[in-house]
Structure 1
Amino acid sequence: MKKVVSEISGVVFSLPWLVAKDNGLFEAEGLDMEFVKALRPDPVARTENPEDINPILGHTTFEQGQVSIYRA
């Protein structure tokens, strides 16, 4: 089976993935699915400059190579 690692973020975003794993849908497709907890970003001060916002904020597990897929 191919190993796939994905992040777990808020329940709203992760529930379909967890249900699919619990129902064996990944295994049926030959995938060994593993989940890691998403890292919480540090609080960001308010800004009016869009250049001050990190577009990867909250997806550092992908940037650090801890997961194999990016879930936007």
Structure 2
Amino acid sequence: MDKDREATAAALASVNKRLTALESNHSSGPEPKRKRRGQCPKLAETVRRLHNSETDGRRYDPEQSCM
């Protein structure tokens, strides 16, 4: 029984160390800005217009909620 407790305590200590390391790596500073996928504004405008076109069957309907 004591061996099981020692093994569990060692496993929990190991997990706690790893979790602490992960938290320190990810909370070290402000989040970086997201990169823009496209660097060409004309291409981005064309794609936006295509996706919002009347002929697009999957066009977003404002009446329909996102949820």
Higher strand share: 1
Higher helix share: 2
In the superposition, the TM-score normalised over structure 1's length comes to 0.21
In the superposition, the TM-score normalised over structure 2's length comes to 0.22
Structure exhibiting the larger radius of gyration computed from Cα positions? 2
Which structure has more relative contact order (CA 8 Å, sep 6+)? It is 1
